[in-house]
Amino acid sequence: MIRVLVADDQALLRGSLRLLVDAEPGLVAVGEAADGTEAVRLTAETRPDVVLMDVRMPGLDGIGATRLICAPSQTGSHDGPRVLILTMFDLDEYVYGALRAGASGFLLKDAPPAELLAAIRVVAAGEALIAPAVTRRLIAEFARRPGPARRDSAGLDAVTDRERDVLELVARGLTNTEIARRLFVGLSTVKTHVSHLLTKFGARDRAQLVIVAYETGLVTPGIADPDRRAPDAGPRPPGRAVS
């Protein structure tokens, strides 16, 4: 059973989301929060698997609440609830801010109910809900703007050439299956590389790997993947950086 906490300042929407979750087999709503502060408190009390988080709320907003909920524990572990951001606003800064804060997904409130329920399951399974279009258009744009200090690219020294290849393609929004096809390797091999990358960078999921790729300069923001081609066009030369 996937436990879900709903955080939104609109009571009617909170109630509707709770009814939707409770009506879905395998999901159960464990609480409702009207602001970010209450979301943080209820997360600690109810221990949900997924938090549906609104962005614009009074007091502590959804981005701030996400940052507190997704902060590593004292042991350095990232185990804990996953945050799925829900907003009415298709604004780039909200997406990038949410991912920087540790969110595992981003969805507009006008998404169909079936898409929302599927997103909850994806995020609960430990995957990141980042559509390729979001990766290219939003993260790339905001990664190149002035903001918090970038990661030291020296952190890439512990990454193998093949892991770099995988990290680049994750940052471009490709799925594991697409990466396997691109690199002509097995799906299990890609999953192993992704697991190693998560461990090496202390990342909780693929969303955080996207941030790593841009902030270390491994992938240059704002430039489309020059190697995006048909599956039968052949792999790119190993170790060549995408810029």
**Which among 213, 46, 35 has a CA at the least distance from the CA of 128?**
213
Residue 192: per-residue pLDDT: 94
> How many angstroms separate the CA atoms of 66 and 88, rounded?
17
| Beta strand pairing call for 105-108 and 2-7 | unpaired
Which tens digits make up the pLDDT trace of 93-133?
677 778 778 888 888 888 889 989 998 998 888 776 665 55
- Check: CB of residue 46 under 8 Å from CB of residue 3: yes
**Helix intervals (H) in the chain:** 11-22, 36-46, 62-69, 92-101, 113-124, 132-134, 140-143, 161-171, 176-183, 187-201, 206-215
Residue 14 has pLDDT above 50, yes or no: yes
Residue 71: per-residue pLDDT: 84
Which tens digits make up the pLDDT trace of 26-37?
999 999 999 999
Q: What is the pTM of this model?
A: 0.68
Please tell me which residue, 149 or 152, carries the higher pLDDT value. Answer: 152
Residue 72 has pLDDT above 90, yes or no: no
- Check: CB of residue 54 under 8 Å from CB of residue 77: no
Please tell me which residue, 240 or 126, carries the higher pLDDT value. Answer: 126
Residue 162: per-residue pLDDT: 94
Residue 212: per-residue pLDDT: 82
Residue 90 has pLDDT above 80, yes or no: no
Residue 168 has pLDDT above 60, yes or no: yes
Q: What Cα–Cα distance (Å) separates residue 151 from each residue in 57, 155, 214?
A: 30, 8, 9
Q: Which residue do the tokens 């461990």 mark?
A: 199
Residue 198 has pLDDT above 90, yes or no: no
Going 211 to 217 to 222 to 223, the CA torsion angle's sign is negative
Angle between helices 11-22 and 113-124 (to 10 degrees): 70
**Which among 40, 53, 47 has a CA at the least distance from the CA of 14?**
53
> How many angstroms separate the CA atoms of 97 and 224, rounded?
22
When mean pLDDT is compared across 71-85, 102-116, 128-142, the lowest value belongs to: 128-142
Residue 153: per-residue pLDDT: 63
When mean pLDDT is compared across 31-40, 72-81, 180-189, 202-211, the lowest value belongs to: 72-81
